[in-house]
Structure 1
Amino acid sequence: MSEEENMLVDREQYLANGVHIGTKAQHTSMDKYIFHVKKNQLAVLNLDKTDEKIREVAKVLADYDPEEILVVGRTEQARTPIKAFSNAIGSQLIDGRFMPGTLTNPQSENFVEPEIVVVSNPEEDAQAIQEAHDTNIPVIAIADSENEIEEIDHVIPANNKAENALGLVYFLLAREMAERNGEDFNYEVTDFGAEIKEVEEQETEEVEEETDEEDEE
């Protein structure tokens, strides 16, 4: 894994926070982001692509004024990460239920007009995606192996079921945006719900074995 030094964070931290963990369901639109499927049918997401996509999305978002960005997350696991992300970059935020008409009905008290939308889970945040699609607003999504992504403009492949996994992705995204904009970034990864911890030796060896198997194929 000689490319590790070029990643936004040590690969072990991606592993320790479970960013690579997919589900037993895999949607065909996510095939290019799935590194391996274990014998128990659990998908392993490609961390090189995750890292690459975080960089790409940060570059995209850095071109917008913060108030033009809307960050959405319906699940409890997304709450801390998206609040920290929104606070760090100064974006709009919808934490919890996305009310119908938020992007499409100017008469709604919840109506907002962002230039781009970031969602934490394509399945849970489907209403936001549909309304963004209807109003030609580009969508960025953190997508797991089971998610359909045909209407997503930019995908970050990652575990979107766990707070620490989402937290690490949002932390890196915010940090990369700040760096691109030449801004100070005074946040810790723990502020986003992620953890700094030692990855279990067994898990490291397991992923390394999968990498070797993939290289041999």
Structure 2
Amino acid sequence: MLITHASNLSVGAAFAVSLKDDESGGQKNHLLKEVFDVAVISMKQLLEAGVHFGHQTRRWNPKMDRYIFTERNGIYIIDLQKTVKKVEQAYNFVRDLAADGGKILFVGTKKQAQDSVKEEAERCGMYYINQRWLGGTLTNFETIQKRITRLKNLEKMQEDGTFDVLPKKEVILLKKEMDRLEKFLGGIKDMQGIPDALFVIDPRKERIAIAEAHKLNIPIVAIVDTNCDPDEIDYVIPGNDDAIRAVKLLTGKMADAVIEATSGEEEEVVAEETTTA
């Protein structure tokens, strides 16, 4: 289905009208200013990225009803007023967690999410899984660590010249093994233990990761589309989990939260060193 820029504007206008209808006088102006100017993310950014487009009405989870604004041409439109607030809540949680030294694992294995998950996790210095989730990644982390150790050993063999003195056929097999391990574990090979939180794109797709996090009481932040169950998620971000631009925008905001926290730490260290000197 082709979504035009005009339809984005009309939906945006509808949101603006709903805001005006909700408040009056100074309260109305205060609310509009809060939503459009002060929030972590703006309504304009969300609209331009297509975050408001949900799934077809026949593919939905009734529990998402509270996050749906309306229905248009057989597609649910997500209430971006609520998305703005939920992004801010998630942002604050991630920022505070990172400020306390917490580690976040970014998870998104669907094609639309793979690049954003890798790029944004690397940008903020966190871990990621953007290929197939290996069962037991969290609940059987000791076994995963053994595979990571194997990956690091193979990388060392390549770097120190060991591959150069081995038979060609053996080297081909070892490189194939190394590439496979890098593909699935490269984003977590420096992860020393269980992460303190997960950021997930599409909980339905990543149901095994969600289940493992629940078993270990690991809090979950997730982009939750209209076909997902929000009750499974601690910090729900109602939004389109299929559009690359939408995923990039929301994933980037979580990375920004980490960077805000960690850059503050770096500034404190510099200040301490300056004072000591």
**TM-score, structure 1 length as denominator?**
0.76
CA distance in 1, matches of 2:202, 2:43: 23
| Partner secondary structure for residue 230 of structure 2 | coil
Match of 2:178 in 1: none
Alignment of 1:72-83 (within 5 A): 72-83=107-118
> Which position in structure 2 is the counterpart of 1:164?
245
Query: What CA deviation, in whole Å up to 9, does each residue of 1:154-180 have, x standing for no partner?
Result: 100110001111011122333344345
- Number of the residue aligned with 1:100: 135
Give how far 1:12 is off. 3.1
> Which residue identity is paired with 1:146?
N
Answering whether residue 60 of structure 2 is matched by residue 26 of structure 1, we say: yes
TM-superposed deviation, 1:50: 1.2
| Correspondent of 1:15 among 38, 43, 47 | 47
Distance 1:64 1:9, change over 3 A: closer
Q: Given that residues 49 and 249 in structure 2 are in contact (C-alpha distance below 8 angstroms), is that contact kept between their aligned partners in structure 1?
A: yes
Q: Deviations over 1:115-135 (max 9, x none)?
A: 111110111111100000111
Task: Say whether the 8 Å CA contact 1:80–1:163 is kept in structure 2.
Answer: no
Q: 1:7 to 1:62 in 2, by over 3 A?
A: closer
Taking the TM superposition and a 5 Å limit, the aligned residue runs for 1:58-97 are: 58-65=91-98, 68-97=103-132
Aligned residue among 234, 253, 259 for 1:153: 234
Look up the equivalent residue of 1:18 and give its one-letter code: G
State the alpha-carbon separation in 1 of the partners of residues 75 and 47 from structure 2.
Answer: 15
Relative to structure 1, the CA distance from residue 162 to residue 104 in structure 2 (aligned partners, 3 Å threshold; closer, same or farther) is same
Work out the CA distance in 2 between the residues paired with 1:142 and 1:107: 29
- Structure 1 residues 177 and 4: CA distance shift in structure 2, 3 A: same
Counterpart code for 2:52: H
Match of 2:198 among 111, 114, 117: 117
Instruction: Let me know the Cα RMSD of the aligned residues.
Output: 2.2
Unaligned stretches of 5+ in structure 2? Answer: 1-15, 17-31, 147-192, 266-277
Q: Give the alignment partner of residue 219 of structure 2, picking from 138, 160, 182.
A: 138
**1:57 counterpart = 2:90:** yes
**Per-residue deviation, residues 92-148 of structure 1 (Å, max 9, x unmatched):** 111111100001114422585111111101111111000001111111110101111
- Kept after mapping to 2: 8 A contact 1:116/1:137: yes
| Cα distance in 2 between the residues matched to 1:54 and 1:37 | 22
Q: Secondary structure at the match of 1:71?
A: strand
Name the structure 1 match of 2:36: 4
Cα shift readout 1:56-78 (whole Å, capped 9, x = no counterpart): 11111112246621110111110
8 Å Cα contact 1:69/1:91 also seen in 2 = yes
**Greater mean deviation of Cα atoms: 7-16 or 78-87:** 7-16
**CA contact 2:141–2:194 (8 Å) conserved in 1:** no
Q: Percent identity over the alignment? A: 32
Q: Distance in 1 between matches of 2:213 and 2:71?
A: 32
Output the CA distance in 2 between the equivalents of 1:159 and 1:54.
13
Q: Is the 8 A contact 1:55 1:176 kept in 2?
A: no
SS at match of 2:77: strand
Normalised to the residue count of structure 2, the TM-score between the two structures is: 0.60
Quote how far apart the aligned CAs of 1:16 are. 2.0
Aligned length: 183
The one-letter amino acid of 1:147's match is C
Secondary structure at the counterpart of residue 174 of structure 1? helix
C-alpha separation in 2, matches of 1:163 and 1:43: 18
Q: Tell me if the contact between 1:81 and 1:167 (Cα under 8 Å) persists in the aligned partners.
A: yes
